[in-house]
Structure 1
């Protein structure tokens, strides 16, 4: 007769999923390339002037809360310092903030796009946000798929359906086989098939695509990213009269510029963007639909929303919305 071995485990060994505060809406006031900033302050002022009425529209939607509660709405702006760095924070950020203020807008949170991609310098042993989200991708196999296509972890491509078959074993098969079109998995009538490039390895280091980094950005704004239970991309307070550094890497990935701002993370997101971002954001929704998000983080958001009588859709992509005004 053998004795059962007792196993003791420290409760602290199980990572606890940190909770984050929630606004009702995270309102993104823009996402511009460095080339846009290079056009000067007038270009930024035109951008925010065009954004202002649409930002007011998004605020009006958030005002329809149960029990007449005042909505918590935080604003944010994402600067592209990942694909190019034509200027410095010391030169660019003050001009950006002044242009927004001239249009009657306040940027509560300022984020660097490289913060969605690179590892935290304080924790070089940990993967960057993009890498950790990539590891959570779960491809949705379309009906009738045979596994011929290598997984997204090898190819760097993710789709929302069945690709057109390309494999041929002989010239005879080519002659006899009928062409088959690609097909969207959940098409309503006709397909809108999308094949999204998530990264490339053409240079010395992996380069994440704009669409994939935008998906990481959405997940961060929705408060659904964790690192061993710890919250990530948390805001660093920054005094508005404090000078900005000359080096982007010396700037925290996410700044809280307004000390009175509602929380950065929110139940819903809305982004006011130039129409050229429309295909990128379509790709973002394809990605969000195939990310296995931390179950505890999702549960926390749902429970917090329930306590405020706010209903959250089951799908993460359905918590995101966009406005594409003319003239941006």
Structure 2
């Protein structure tokens, strides 16, 4: 006689899937100093972005006849607080509209640190798995202690030979170098008076994971868009939901791939983002779900999460020396 086996449903939490578009297209990742230029500065930004957004959409159409593309915009309310949602968001939406662009989803950067009482940055930090440099023996403190993440072997400091002689300088080495090393060492956070301040690259990595539909908390999706039906936006950033949907788009927020349109001054930051993504142990079931669904649609995603994120870096008006001289 077979005996029935009873098991608590919480013993194996189920990883919920999330709706997925083909592409998440980010139309802006600006900071408060960018907004200080007012509507004119924003208008210049969106006019430039429109050119590249059209090109990205044309490229997506080559992979799918009817690509599902959602747009998003990220506002920095984490490092500095400038203006209010009531003043800033309508200006952003209007300047995008004038350039022929529509923003479907708008997020607060602080939500990449904490959203709906879930400490997202902390959770992702605990999923970091450092790439061990060749010949290393675990002598380096873990990233959770140092707050620094590298893509290889740092330059040794204060090393001595067995006979006590100080060794000569040794270069850093990239773990997966091809012919020559491109070594990076990324600061993930700083601390002051016991308070942790997450770095821009680390929050941007969390943002990419959210856009790729790979963030979960106890199996549940996090940073889920909320409808915004009010006529006016609040005067306090903390009263604005972490992620809101501004349109009636049917394209989901998260997607198989992401494309970010941004000024070229962010290039170093996004290089750091890719390093972080390469060393993040992403939820296995979430990865399986995205992999299966993308294959079923005939548009499989790369195995490496970082390869699912693409960028267009453009030159901002006034960046060139020619503009400065005129």
TM-score, with structure 2 as normaliser:
0.93
- Alignment partner, residue 85 of structure 2: 89
Partners of 2:54 and 2:179 in 1: how far apart? 35
- Alignment partner, residue 134 of structure 1: 125
Query: What is the CA deviation profile of residues 142-181 of structure 1, one whole-angstrom value per residue up to 9, with x for unaligned ones?
Result: 10113222110000000011100013359x8454x12110
- Alignment partner, residue 162 of structure 1: 153
Unaligned runs of 5+ in 1: none
SS in 1 for 2:62: coil
SS in 2 for 1:94: helix
Query: For 2:219, which of 211, 229, 232 is the aligned residue?
Result: 229
Partners of 1:204 and 1:283 in 2: how far apart? 25
The two structures, once aligned, show a CA RMSD in angstroms of 1.8
- Alignment partner, residue 117 of structure 1: 113
- Whether the 8 Å contact between 1:41 and 1:99 is mirrored in structure 2 is yes
- Whether the 8 Å contact between 2:224 and 2:243 is mirrored in structure 1 is yes
Partners of 1:29 and 1:261 in 2: how far apart? 18
Q: Does 1:108 align with 2:104?
A: yes
Unaligned runs of 5+ in 2: 318-326
SS in 2 for 1:270: strand
Query: What is the CA deviation profile of residues 35-93 of structure 1, one whole-angstrom value per residue up to 9, with x for unaligned ones?
Result: 11111110000000011110111111110125xx3000000000000000021101111
Query: For 2:280, which of 291, 306, 309 is the aligned residue?
Result: 291
- Whether the 8 Å contact between 2:115 and 2:223 is mirrored in structure 1 is no
- Alignment partner, residue 323 of structure 2: none
- Whether the 8 Å contact between 1:108 and 1:261 is mirrored in structure 2 is no
Partners of 1:259 and 1:51 in 2: how far apart? 22
Task: Kindly tell me the number of residue pairs found equivalent between the two proteins.
Answer: 315
Query: For 2:174, which of 167, 184, 187 is the aligned residue?
Result: 184
Partners of 1:39 and 1:300 in 2: how far apart? 43
Shift of 1:300: 0.5
- Whether the 8 Å contact between 1:237 and 1:259 is mirrored in structure 2 is no
TM-score, with structure 1 as normaliser:
0.92
- Alignment partner, residue 193 of structure 1: 183
SS in 2 for 1:76: strand
